[in-house]
Amino acid sequence: MEDKGSLLIRGGTVVTATARLRADVLVRSGRIDAVGPDLGIDEADVDRVIDAAGCWVMPGGIDTHTHLAHPIGRLGVTTADDFYTGTVAGAFGGVTTIIDFGLQEQGGTLTDARDHRFGVIDPDAIIDFGFHLIVTDVNEGVLAEMGDLIRSGFPSFKVYMTYGDKKIGDDDLILLLEVAGEHGGLIYAHCENDCAVTHLIERHLAEGKTGPAYHATSRPPAVEAEATNRAIMLAELAGAPICIAHVTSSGAARHVADARARGVAVAAETCPQYLVLDSSVYDPGAGCEVAKFVCSPPMREHSHVDALWDALADGSIQQVSSDHAPFRYEGQKTGGCDNFTQIPNGLPGIETRLPIVFTEGVASGRLTPERFVELTATAPARLFGLTEKGRIEPGADADLIVVDPEREVEITADVLHSDVDYSPYEGMRLKGFPTWTISRGDVIIDNGVLTAERGRGRQVERIPIDPANLP
């Protein structure tokens, strides 16, 4: 692997969230040292030169929503990627930072959730990482811990408005929002109406509608739109910022856009699966194969797909993350062939996130290259308090990808690096995979070859969130 010395990336098109220019990038000691049209550096004076002619040089992707080595207690399964395979897959897909999760046990503290997670991540991660703390049990102790956690680099807290024993109610959500708002924290909310989901699941099962395809009809768009609006309203009431996780529907996107228009500090993300797949994946005729596409919220009818692209282009959704929650089809997803409630929810996607947004967004003309960078790197950094990442400027961490915009890859599970036996995107032809991925100046994917040492990833610095500074 490249050691920390100097690296010159010569002659590429540097794309940032605000500009595109032909420039060299000089990296020294893991940070960006200089960027300019012709830095006039003698190749003999640097340790390594990458010839980026014909390529785009962009900030490494920041994926703020991954579930690696994540236990789903109710079903007794854990996501199929650990922090090695998951971050390797990320690096091949141009990701240089992830923000994963630390789960509070019932009766446990958030500090324990944090400390437990370090031991799981540190030995394995090859890219930099942070994690959100998932609050499942709100009590006086938890509310008292939050200020110190926020000030010590853990400013974001995930909440589930549904999902069995992980769910919190509105009463607890208000308390969390108030405390987060007071100390510079950010609540990151999975929004689905739990009463409606529970009722619809029971009704489906009572009517014998148990196959995987019924997962989607048990969680229709109104379930998401209602909870999204409620979460935003509670945040407005508490005077706290909020980020809405994985927006999938036009109704939810409209609530976000309306709230932003009236000045509420709300941000939102969507994910690639909702941008290129639609509800046709839930074809009852496909039998158990449908389980490969079971995630929550589910994919929607095609009109919602168009609405999400519009929301990305017009700024009402600010970031694209993967919600990478990989499960193997054989042995994990197939556990629910006869009962959709037993299918672990989630799709693999850390490696294909940038290529999907690049291909379907930039190459197809829906997004500018600058907007691509904003959605996949610069905005996520700003939203979650990552001060050193997501931009190509002197002083920033040298987290970079070099992409040949014409190179196309046909997707199969075999060409990807996640520890799963399928891809939801089999057969798609995607551009936007990096030829080189650089993390803090180390070339970790070198012309398509993994060169990173296991465990080289570091915890990222994160600062409290200023609601006035949301993307």
CB of 346 to Zn ion, least distance (A): 7
Q: Does 418 bind ligand DUC (CB under 6 A)?
A: no
- Of the candidate residues 273, 296, 359, 437, the single one contacting ligand DUC (CB under 6 A): 296
C-alpha to C-alpha distances, 56 to 20, 28, 41, 50, 428, nearest whole angstrom: 9, 20, 20, 12, 22
Element (H, E) at 119: helix 110-121
Amino acid code (one letter) for 47: D
CB of 194 to ligand DUC, least distance (A): 13
Of the two residues 323 and 351, which places its CB atom closer to Zn ion in the complex?
323
Residue 175 interacts with which of ligand DUC, Zn ion, none, CB < 5 to 8 Å by class: none
**Cα–Cα distance measured from residue 51 to residue 44, given in angstroms and rounded to the nearest whole number:** 14
- Of the candidate residues 184, 185, 346, 349, the single one contacting ligand DUC (CB under 6 A): 346
CB of 368 to ligand DUC, least distance (A): 30
Element (H, E) at 116: helix 110-121
CB of 334 to Zn ion, least distance (A): 21
Of the two residues 87 and 296, which places its CB atom closer to ligand DUC in the complex?
296
Q: Does 190 bind Zn ion (CB under 5 A)?
A: yes
**Cα–Cα distance measured from residue 34 to residue 17, given in angstroms and rounded to the nearest whole number:** 17
3-state SS class at 133: strand
Q: Stretches 126-134, 190-198, 301-309, 433-441: which one binds Zn ion (CB under 5 A)?
A: 190-198
Which phi and psi angles does 436 have, rounded to 5°?
A: -125, 135
x/- mask, ligand DUC, residues 54-73, rule CB under 6 A, reads -------------x------
Closest CA to 383 of 200, 187, 218, 249: 187
x/- mask, Zn ion, residues 315-354, rule CB under 5 A, reads --------x-------------------------------
What letter would DSSP give residue 421?
A: S
Closest CA to 459 of 397, 373, 395: 397
Of the two residues 103 and 125, which places its CB atom closer to ligand DUC in the complex?
103
Of the two residues 322 and 439, which places its CB atom closer to ligand DUC in the complex?
322
Contacting Zn ion within 217-256 (CB under 5 A): 245
CB contact set of 195 (below 8 Å; sequence gap of 6+): none
**Cα–Cα distance measured from residue 188 to residue 49, given in angstroms and rounded to the nearest whole number:** 41
Q: Is 164 left (phi over 0), alpha (psi -120 to 50) or beta?
A: left
Residue 24 interacts with which of ligand DUC, Zn ion, none, CB < 5 to 8 Å by class: none
Q: Cis bond leading into 297, ω under 30°?
A: yes
- Of the candidate residues 225, 243, 325, 377, the single one contacting ligand DUC (CB under 6 A): 325
Closest CA to 79 of 321, 289, 347: 347
3-state SS class at 407: coil
Of the two residues 22 and 74, which places its CB atom closer to ligand DUC in the complex?
74
CB of 65 to Zn ion, least distance (A): 5
Q: Does 114 bind ligand DUC (CB under 6 A)?
A: no
Q: Does 345 bind ligand DUC (CB under 6 A)?
A: yes
Contacting ligand DUC within 185-204 (CB under 6 A): 190
CB contact set of 422 (below 8 Å; sequence gap of 6+): 292, 329, 413
Using CB under 5 A as the criterion, which residues of the chain lie in contact with Zn ion when the complex forms?
A: 190, 245, 323
Using CB under 6 A as the criterion, which residues of the chain lie in contact with ligand DUC when the complex forms?
A: 67, 190, 295-296, 323, 325, 345-346
